Amino acid sequence: MSGEILAVNSGSSSLKFALFDAASTASPMAMQVRYRGQFSGLGSRVRTELQAGFGTELNEEQDAALYDVPAALDHAGALERLLQWVEDNPALGDIRAVGHRIVHGGARYREPLRLDAESFAALEALNELAPLHQPHGLAPVRSLTGLRPGLPQYACFDTAFHATQPAVAQTFPLPRRFREQGVIRYGFHGLSFDYVSRALSAERQHGQALPGGRVVIAHLGNGASLCALRDGKSVAATTGFTAVEGLMMGTRSGSLDPGLVLHLILHEGMSAEAVQRLLYKESGLLGVSGISGDMRELLASEAPEAAEAIALFVYRIVREIGSLAAALGGLDHLVFTAGIGERAAPIRAAVAQGCEWLGARLDDAANAANALDIAGPDSRLGLWVIPTDEERMIAWYTATELARRT
Ligand SMILES: Nc1ncnc2c1ncn2[C@@H]1O[C@H](COP(=O)(O)OP(=O)(O)O)[C@@H](O)[C@H]1O
Ligand SMILES: CC(=O)OP(=O)(O)O
Ligand SMILES: [Mg+2]
């Protein structure tokens, strides 16, 4: 199939995108990437970043034109700009279909899905379950539908990868009717875990890696979560019904005592909206440090509050790795991914130190270099840094669905 797949990864304040050759669908790893970039700071002060053009014939001026954007831009605006720019540059090829990362598929949607009015409305009804993500993921779908009604658009769900979890890992200890209504632990960052798990298995096939199929992947970005995998399939995750559960994140609290939430509402007089803002936007690294939710800034800071926030971030990760190792009955490999996991060597070092009881021994030089294999020769635990590629999974699922229908 000729043409390009545009993969759109809408985050809470960023839109990452990539163009892939629609013909190269043998496996996700075989998909040929043509262009990648990113808009960040959406909704406040937009920054843009060209990651790379791969074999495309654009000059600097053509590249720069994409990022000549107004300072205030939202997700839909960024996508409109992107679409216009692709169409202005024939060297990039024709877009055959657009694949979107949609964070929550709810009880109804797991598999990649061609979007239409009905499914769009059903997904919009889930906005409150992922208030930092779902509306931002859907806004570009709506604007594209208006601009290019004939262009096929697909949704790829963050929740899909976790469908393999056993019931015991998905169930809340609530009355049965809740489960029947779809109140379960869905789990998120699934496109990232899906990619990293495949990349790990490819590496282990041609390396001298330690054996064993019990893996924890630590996706540490603005949002952060852990996934426990057995033989490449998700068996448990730290995120739950929503992506506020689990680890401490950039601005999200992670797991709390539910009694505390009740206390805030019943005794502190906070409105539900104020609690939502507190838990999603004012907590985590930002709330504890009082400085920033951005790990780079905290690592660069000498304030004791920054160190305290980092220590709590690491402590929560180490405790949850212990919990997932228990669920797996042991641990063979620990993989770090996403912004912090891929680039923050001091955080990986602290987490690895907290996992010495599991046999972790870091190779300090490899860790400092963000190398792929960061386990020391005496490590009983495989330790890895694998850059995630959610866009690749979105493109592959989209191309596969498109090929099935044509
Ligand atoms: N070199 C680095 N050192 C430490 N942290 C980094 C580095 N580069 C990026 N990060 C952190 O990664 C996080 C963003 O990760 P990312 O995966 O891009 O998040 P998202 O996709 O959720 O927007 C931020 O906390 C940022 O500070
Ligand atoms: C679901 C989620 O937390 O996503 P992100 O890390 O992109 O914010
Ligand atoms: Mg992300």
15-69 tens-digit pLDDT: 999 999 988 888 899 999 988 888 887 876 667 666 655 656 577 777 777 777 7
241 pocket-lining for ligand 2 (C-beta < 6 Å)? no
Can you tell me which atom of ligand 2 is nearest the CA of 130?
A: 1
Token match 């907290």: residue?
Answer: 354
State the average pLDDT for the chain: 92
CA 221 to ligand 3 centroid distance, Å: 6
Average pLDDT over residues 376-394: 97
111 annotated as belonging to a binding site for a ligand: no
pLDDT for 405 equals 77
295 pocket-lining for ligand 1 (C-beta < 6 Å)? yes
Q: What confidence tier does 1 reach under pLDDT thresholds 50, 70, 90?
A: low
Query: Which of the pair, 18 or 89, is modelled with greater confidence?
Result: 18
**By C-alpha distance, which of 339, 380, 377 is closest to 357?**
380
223 pocket-lining for ligand 1 (C-beta < 6 Å)? yes
Partners of residue 225 on adjacent β-strands:
219
% residues pLDDT > 90 (the chain): 76
188 pocket-lining for ligand 2 (C-beta < 6 Å)? yes
- The rounded distance, in Å, linking the Cα atoms of 86 and 93 is 8
Please choose from 16, 103, 286, 393 the residue to mutate so as to test ligand 2's pocket, defined by most ligand atoms within 8 A of CB.
Answer: 103
Q: What confidence tier does 240 reach under pLDDT thresholds 50, 70, 90?
A: very high
Strands 95-102 and 47-53: unpaired
- The rounded distance, in Å, linking the Cα atoms of 49 and 154 is 25
Question: Would you call 380 exposed, middle or buried from its count of C-beta atoms within 10 A (0-12, 13-18, 19+)?
Answer: middle
In whole angstroms, how far apart are CA 237 and each of 63, 193, 246, 372?
39, 10, 8, 23
pLDDT for 46 equals 66
Partners of residue 291 on adjacent β-strands:
none
pLDDT for 261 equals 97
Does residue 8 contact residue 15 with C-beta atoms inside 8 Å?
A: yes
Interface ipTM: 0.98
Read off the amino acid at residue 174: L
198 annotated as belonging to a binding site for a ligand: no
- Domains of the chain, earliest start first: 4-157 (3.30.420.40), 190-385 (3.30.420.40)
Summarised one tens digit per residue, pLDDT across range 73-83 is 889 999 998 99
Q: Which pTM does this prediction carry?
A: 0.95
Is 373 catalytic? The answer is no
> Residue 32: how many CA atoms within 13 Å on its side-chain side?
13
Does residue 87 contact residue 71 with C-beta atoms inside 8 Å?
A: no
SS3 category, 42 = coil
pLDDT for 13 equals 78
pLDDT for 355 equals 98
Summarised one tens digit per residue, pLDDT across range 302-359 is 999 999 999 999 999 999 999 999 999 999 999 999 999 999 999 999 999 999 999 9
**By C-alpha distance, which of 75, 84, 105, 64 is closest to 10?**
75
Query: Which of the pair, 204 or 337, is modelled with greater confidence?
Result: 337
pLDDT for 6 equals 96
Give the environment of ion ligand 3: residues with CB less than 5 A.
11, 221
Does residue 230 contact residue 236 with C-beta atoms inside 8 Å?
A: no
Does residue 353 contact residue 379 with C-beta atoms inside 8 Å?
A: no
Query: Which of the pair, 280 or 132, is modelled with greater confidence?
Result: 280
Least confident of 88-102, 151-165, 170-184, 245-259: 88-102
In this structure, what DSSP letter does residue 405 have?
Answer: H
14 pocket-lining for ligand 1 (C-beta < 6 Å)? yes
pLDDT for 128 equals 85
pLDDT for 54 equals 60
The radius of gyration of the chain from alpha carbons, rounded to an integer in Å, stands at 21
Least confident of 28-42, 277-291, 356-370: 28-42
Q: What confidence tier does 275 reach under pLDDT thresholds 50, 70, 90?
A: very high
Rounded to the nearest 5 degrees, what angle is found at the Cα of 38, between the Cα atoms of 103 and 84?
100
In whole angstroms, how far apart are CA 262 and each of 92, 131, 255, 258?
53, 20, 14, 7
Q: What confidence tier does 151 reach under pLDDT thresholds 50, 70, 90?
A: very high
Catalytic-role residue among 158, 194, 332, 389: 158
Q: Is the pLDDT of residue 274 over 90?
A: yes
45 annotated as belonging to a binding site for a ligand: no
User: Which strand (E) or helix (H) includes residue 48?
Assistant: strand 47-53
Does residue 99 contact residue 156 with C-beta atoms inside 8 Å?
A: yes
**By C-alpha distance, which of 225, 215, 193, 244 is closest to 340?**
225
Other CB atoms within a 10 A radius of the CB of residue 258 amount to 8
Can you tell me which atom of ligand 2 is nearest the CA of 158?
A: 1
Does residue 312 contact residue 333 with C-beta atoms inside 8 Å?
A: no
pLDDT for 51 equals 60
pLDDT for 378 equals 96
Query: Which of the pair, 59 or 268, is modelled with greater confidence?
Result: 268
CA 56 to ligand 2 centroid distance, Å: 30
Find which of 47-51, 88-92, 177-181, 207-211 is predicted with most confidence, using mean pLDDT.
Answer: 177-181
Does residue 157 contact residue 93 with C-beta atoms inside 8 Å?
A: no
284 pocket-lining for ligand 1 (C-beta < 6 Å)? no
CA 130 to ligand 2 centroid distance, Å: 9
pLDDT for 3 equals 86
In whole angstroms, how far apart are CA 278 and each of 178, 254, 261, 285, 391?
25, 11, 10, 13, 30
